Structures are given as C-alpha cells and as structure tokens.
Amino acid sequence: MEFSGPQAFVLLVTMLVLFLIIKLLEPLRDAEEPPYIEPTIPLVGHAIGLLQRKYDYYTDLGNANKLPIFTLALPGMPKNRVYIINSSNLVLAIEKLPKKLSFWFVQAIFTVGMAGLSKRTAQVLQDNILGTEDRPSLFMDGMMEFHKYLKPGEALDRMTRLSTSSLADSIERQFVGKNTTKSIELWAWVHKEMATAITRGAYGPQNPYDDPEIREAFSALETNVVGLISFPFPKWTAATAYKGRTKLVNAFRRYHISNGIQGASAYIQGSGNIASQHKLPILDKARLDAVGGHAILANTIPTAFWTLYHIFSDQSLLEEVRDAVKPLVSSKEMEHGNWKHEIDITKIREIPILKSVLYESLRHYGSGTGTRIVVEDTLLEDRYKLKKGTFIFMPNMLYHQNREIWGDDVDSFNAHRFSTGKHYNSGAFRGFGGGANLCPGRFFAMNEIFACCAMMVLRFDLRPSRGAGREWRHPGTDGSNMSLLVNPPKETVYADVIEKPGWALGEWIFKL
Ligand code: HEM
C-alpha cells in the first residue's frame, strides 16, 4: 500500500499521538515492584479483559502466570496500575498491615461516591480516616460503633430478637393453616424475607424497608453500585441505581425527621450519634443510611439463598439438618391446649452441618475482590515494593477455587467441607474476610440465615413446582455484579411450600 505525502504525514502524526498517550498513561515501572503482566493489546488489554471476563480474568491470569503477586497496567486507576494478590499467604501478610495497606481508606472513598455525599461531609469522612491524628475521626469513630455493637452481646441479641420475630411472623402468615399449597420463587422470597427481617432488626419499628417500594429501590441501587462510584455523572451513566438511591435517601430523610432512629438498634443509633457529633446534615445522614443497606443485605441475601437451596435440593442433607435441628426445639403446652415451640438460636448456630453449608456457600459462590489502598510506600514480605496510592486487589476466586488448598473436589459444592474439623486459614477462605477488617456483621447475618433455615426445615417441605420432572435444577450463577462478594442465582427457582404435619398447633418463637 502506498501513501501520498499528506496521508503519510497524518499517519505519522496519529502514531506519534498514540505513542505519547501510551507513554503518558503507562505507569512508570520500578524493577522492585511486583512483576508486570503484559496486556495483549498495549495499554487497554487488561481493561478489556476485565470488562469481558470480569472475575474470571483474574483467575485466568493467576492460573497462567502462577506468580504470588503481579502488577497490571490499568489506565484510569490511581497510578495507572493495580497489584493483584495471587497467593493466599500474601493475603495473610497484607492482613498484618491494616493501616499501611488499608481497607478503611477504600471504604471511605467508595462511601463518598456511592452515597453522593455533600462536599463538606465527604471531606469530614476522609479526614483522619485511621483516627491517628489528635482530633475526632468520623470514619473510625463510626466503624468502632459497628464493631462494638455487632459483636456477641446484649445489643446483638436485641437486634436478632426483633428481626427473627419479624421473620417468624411472616412465615406464619404466609404458609401456616392454609388449605392451598403456596408456590414461591425462591430468590424473590428469600430477598423479601431477609431484607425485611434484617432491616427491621437494624432500623426498628419505623424501618423504611417495610415498604415494598423501598425494597425495590434497594434492588435498583444494587444493579450498578460500581457505576455510582466510577463515573462523574451517575445521574446519566448509572440512571437506575441513581434513581434507586434517591428514593432510599428520601425515605431515610423522613426516617430521621420523624426520629425513627430512636427505635433503631444500638449500632445504627451509635453511628447516628457519631454523625450528629460531627454535625452532619440530615440529608447526609440519610445518604449514609441509604447505602448502608449494601453492607447489611447485599451479601446476606445470596448467602441465605444458596444455604436454603442446597439444604432443600439434597434430600439426605435435608434429613441430616432436620435431625440436628429437631432436638433443639422445646415445646410447652400452654392454656387452652395451645402449644409454644421455642427454637434456641444460640444452639442452632452451633450445629456443625448448618455452619458448614453456609460457609461452603460463601466459598463456592464467593466472587468479589478484597480491595486495599497502599497508604505509604511499603515493602511487602521484604520483597515487593508497593507504591503509595495504588490499589491492591485480592480476588476471592483465586483462593476459593485453588485446587491445592481445597483438594480435587474444589469445583463441587461439598456441604460437609467445613464440618470435618479441618482448618482453613483466613488467607484461603475469604467469606467474611479476616484480620482487622473481619466482618463485624457476620454474627447477625448468620443468626438470621440459621433462624430462617431452622424454621423452614422443621415445618415445611419445599418441592420444585416447575420444570421437567419437577426435579431440582441448579439455577446457575450470575457473576455480572462486581460489587457483590457472593453471586446470586441466574435463573428462577419455583417451589411449592408444603406444611409438614406432626407439630401441635401453637406459637413458634426464636429464643435467644
Ligand atoms: C453473609 C453476609 C455477609 C458477608 C458475606 C460479609 C462479608 C464481609 C467481608 C468479606 C468483609 C471484609 C472485606 C475485606 O476485608 O475486604 C466485610 C466487612 C464488613 N462487613 Fe460484612 N458481610 C456480611 C454481612 C454483614 C452485615 C449483616 C453487616 C452489618 C450489619 C456487615 C458489616 C460489615 C462492615 C461494617 C465491614 C467492615 C469492617 C471493617 O473494615 O472494619 N456485614 N464483610
């Protein structure tokens, strides 16, 4: 092919401009940094890979290069690069440096974008994040309230009592004493029951999520949390999530104006008081609460779904769970021949097989990425230079799907994997994270999921109500939402809920 003089000039200038763009956006490499993995297309290859393959892209790279840690050039990210942790031992090394390689900085930055905070509140939230300066820290003081009130104790018990009694009432209303069999779509059902019960425990009697429109707004927000954080004009670039958030913010604004927080759990009241001490306007308090649902619900709902799905879709597992739960119900005859059946949650949560199914759900369906920011230049394990301001990604699938750690059945769902007494360290199992950032909400989430499973296995059978042969058919997983740590199902699962005979008529309550 021949070029005329002007064409050759245009081509030359275009190539020069491209070269300059690449040089400008390409990170300045340091030989002591973790090794760089070259993209197939200069500059944008990794970004395209991530867009197309999502979490699987990390697994592809990790399996192909086997390096314990590597660097990807990603234009647009701080320092135009990210560090990827491929080895679960390095995850443990990162856990030991929570202030230098910090999740809290990530949370503060993401919260600002996700909640759409005002400029002043954004500044306050990002000031003195670690609380190391001699002045109050909105972020750390609020986080401490979470850790203080979500750990086992009276505050957690009160919240669990409120939410499990709301769950028990709802189950009673829907399925008990009906002459017809009720069919449910399992994901929609779990979503509604968990969202309503958990938020009732957290926000109290004036819980905004009691309104189905607010639960829908939450689902809308969840469709594109990443979009709210990543682009400057989310009103247009993440319109559905933006609209959902606006609705949630308005609901929480009304909640604060009518002082609904008076009836809330200790951790919501505690973090609300910290917000007041920092003189946050009501609108920003509402914005923070609106996105708080992401931490509380986003991963609890899919975990509850898979735990229930696996128990009910495997007859022998169902019988095993029933046999373990049944002796923990105490039934007392009350007046007029009525009975009171009490399920003791403190004992239910210690049942090894229940815990194992839940943990295996977190492992098997756990996607998500632990994210850290390098707060100061750090030499990790005396070997890898990590540059200040860079993001570190710890993709859970790299550890959860590692054959050397989990054995040859790594790809299957093994309900008993966590009940054999074998110990897996927190570098290999990232279900609730680990170290200083270990999820403080895990007790609450597990209480709720176990309560739901116990009540359902004791009193009901679930039988598939659609599909060939009315057999349980795995719904597949939807890995498209990168803000989630646990993938939801891809397809619908319809089931008939059939009341089991054998229990004397009466009231069912959860005891704590
Ligand atoms: C099954 C449900 C849940 C799962 C799988 C889950 C998972 C996690 C994980 C993996 C982390 C650590 C992230 C990291 O280190 O990168 C985390 C942190 C956190 N979770 Fe959860 N979570 C769940 C439920 C909850 C609930 C119900 C609450 C609140 C009521 C909650 C509040 C938090 C908070 C505040 C943190 C940050 C802790 C810190 O950085 O100090 N989570 N969660």
pLDDT digits (tens, 9 = 90+) for 203-257: 999 999 999 999 999 999 999 998 998 887 899 999 999 999 999 999 999 999 9
Q: Is 368 helix (H, G, I), strand (E, B) or coil?
A: coil
**For ligand 1, atom 22: residue with the closest CA:** 439
pLDDT of residue 25: 65
pLDDT of residue 13: 73
Give the residues across from 82 on adjacent strands: 72, 391
What average pLDDT does range 67-83 have in this prediction? 92
Q: In a mutational test of the pocket of ligand 1, which residue from 97, 439, 450 has the highest number of ligand atoms less than 8 Å from its CB?
A: 439
Angle at 483 between CA 271 and CA 440, to 5 degrees: 35
Closest ligand 1 atom number to CA of residue 394:
16
pTM, 2 dp: 0.93
57 C-alpha to ligand 1 centroid (Å): 24
What average pLDDT does range 313-339 have in this prediction? 93
Q: How far is CA 80 from CA 105, 390, 391, 457, in A?
A: 18, 8, 10, 51
pLDDT of residue 152: 96
Mean pLDDT of the chain: 93
Indicate the range of 2-6, 49-53, 277-281 predicted with least confidence: 2-6
What average pLDDT does range 157-170 have in this prediction? 96
- In the chain, the amino acid numbered 176 is V
- The radius of gyration computed from the CA coordinates of the chain, to the nearest angstrom, equals 25
What average pLDDT does range 279-298 have in this prediction? 96
pLDDT digits (tens, 9 = 90+) for 477-509: 999 888 999 999 999 999 999 999 888 888 999
- Which of the residue ranges 61-75, 301-315, 324-338 has the most confident prediction, judged by mean pLDDT? 301-315
The 10 Å CB-count burial string (b at 16+, else e) for 284-317 is bbbbbbbbbbbebbbbbbbbbbbbbbbbbbbeeb
User: Given phi > 0 = left and psi -120 to 50 = alpha, else beta, which region is 52?
Assistant: alpha
Which residue in 341, 313, 311 sits closest to 328, CA to CA? Answer: 341
pLDDT of residue 19: 67
The residue extents of the domains of the chain are 29-135+371-430, 136-366+431-511
**Which protein residues are within 6 Å of ligand 1, measured from CB?**
103-104, 143, 146, 150, 295-296, 299-300, 303, 362, 370, 430-433, 437, 439-442, 444-445, 485-486
* pLDDT value at 391 more than 70: yes
Name the pLDDT band for 468 (thresholds 50, 70, 90).
Answer: low
Q: How much of the chain, in percent, has pLDDT values that exceed 90?
A: 79
* pLDDT value at 191 more than 70: yes
- Which of the residue ranges 56-70, 99-113, 454-468 has the most confident prediction, judged by mean pLDDT? 99-113
Binding-site residues from annotation for heme: 439
Give the residues across from 333 on adjacent strands: 339
Please state, in angstroms and rounded to a whole number, the distance separating the CA atoms of residues 382 and 288: 39
Element (H, E) at 445: helix 442-459
* pLDDT value at 440 more than 90: yes
Q: Is 371 helix (H, G, I), strand (E, B) or coil?
A: strand
Q: How far is CA 63 from CA 86, 215, 397, 401, 501, in A?
A: 9, 39, 11, 10, 51
Name the pLDDT band for 10 (thresholds 50, 70, 90).
Answer: confident
Q: How far is CA 39 from CA 17, 61, 85, 205, 479, in A?
A: 20, 10, 17, 53, 23
Please state, in angstroms and rounded to a whole number, the distance separating the CA atoms of residues 457 and 454: 5
* pLDDT value at 134 more than 80: yes
* pLDDT value at 297 more than 90: yes
Q: Which CATH architecture has domain 136-366+431-511?
A: Orthogonal Bundle (1.10)
* pLDDT value at 267 more than 90: yes
